[in-house]
Amino acid sequence: MSRGLNMVEQSSLHDCQVRSVTDRAASPHPEEADVHLSVCLHNIRMDFAACVTAAFVFVQEFRVSHYTDTVVVLPGETAGLPRLPNERLYLEP
């Protein structure tokens, strides 16, 4: 018996990959510049692109419940970074 992915798992994996490529390109505020967010949570570093508005609100909210240095905005290119998950939820304080 093969231990590979069954057809449903392969299909779901393909759907996820397509969505991640689409999500990476879609900013809720395309008129704003994107910034590079680096989040360290439980010794795992995650890097995301986010529009300035969402990044500002995310940093404020994240720092309320975590250490202040666990999320930073880094200078540099954001191409190739995944979008901040649920970025639209951080558009308003």
Res. 4: pLDDT tops 60: no
Each residue's pLDDT tens digit, 15-33: 333 333 334 458 898 999 9
Residue 51 has which token pair? 């529009």
The answer to whether residue 26 is domain-embedded is yes
Q: Which pTM value belongs to this model?
A: 0.68
Note down the domain range covering 24.
7-90
The answer to whether residue 23 is domain-embedded is yes
Residue 45 pairs in a beta bridge with: 40
Tally the domains of the chain.
1
| Beta-carbon contacts of residue 51 (< 8 Å; ≥ 6 apart) | 27, 28, 29, 32, 33, 34, 35, 87
Residue 25: predicted pLDDT: 57
The answer to whether residue 1 is domain-embedded is no
The answer to whether residue 18 is domain-embedded is yes
Give the 3-state secondary structure of residue 10.
helix
